[in-house]
Structure 1
């Protein structure tokens, strides 16, 4: 017999994540390898960063953020280039990310990413874009 309980905690979220990753690992022939880069200011405070995973032959980009005060200096472009190049060295041949309509879709499109799927009315009136790009080693 099982007891159903309501629980809206980060602890439950984390426990479910750990259990799902453990289950999935049994069925995948690849491991997730964390990858990321950051920029710090003179006070060693984070001003921009990017992170994700190489999973098999895919670069899965999780986060790209740049402080408002540091925008327009090419940091995001440099971070994305660094991440893509490092992922290629780790065996990635494609990259995948998602972004929202008020975020960086035009930035990613300029970098060769194409929308493969979009969720309209997300979460209510916006759009969430899922984008991919083939990775090519720099010459």
Structure 2
């Protein structure tokens, strides 16, 4: 047996492990939504000059909305823009069949914001990154 660590895998090797987990999952749960149904999307907010002043990057897969990032420019924070972005994001996700939402945020970011829009804190990993914490929150969309 040979263990290999690489930052540049052969394309076929990467495909082999991806297909391996897909096959394993399908053997355990035959009606599991296929990974090909994964939907990556963005939601933007623009100012009157059509400049992006905030947005969300997210993915829908299985039955879950995964919020990967949310950013708002300083001048639109605290004005309900974030809530509007989240509503649009969650509405799109529901149209794609998502019943749950999941987000990770760090101790200096937006935990209170997510709680304000209905997310529930489920876990914390302390010292991630060092000296801070990562918080995990979820919300039922149905």
TM-score by length of 1: 0.78
List gaps (5 residues or longer) in structure 1. none
How far the C-alpha of 1:114 sits from its partner, in A, is: 1.3
Q: Supply the RMSD in Å over aligned alpha carbons.
A: 2.5
Q: Does 1:125 align with 2:131?
A: yes
1:34 to 40, 52, 61: 40
1:104 to 96, 100, 110: 110
Q: After the TM superposition, list the runs of 4 or more consecutive aligned residues in structure 1 that deviate by more than 6 angstroms.
A: none
Q: Does 1:135 align with 2:141?
A: yes
Q: What secondary structure is seen at the aligned counterpart in 2 of 1:91?
A: coil
Count of residue pairs brought into register by the alignment: 129
> Following the alignment from structure 1 to structure 2, what is the Cα–Cα distance between the partners of residues 34 and 22?
20
How far the C-alpha of 1:36 sits from its partner, in A, is: 2.2
TM-score by length of 2: 0.77
List gaps (5 residues or longer) in structure 2. 27-31
> What are the within-5 Å matches in structure 2 for residues 45-124 of structure 1?
45-124=51-130
Deviations along 1:43-85, one digit per CA (max 9) or x if unpaired, are 3221000121110211111111001122122111100011111
2:49 to 24, 30, 43: 43
Deviations along 1:73-102, one digit per CA (max 9) or x if unpaired, are 211110001111111111111000100011
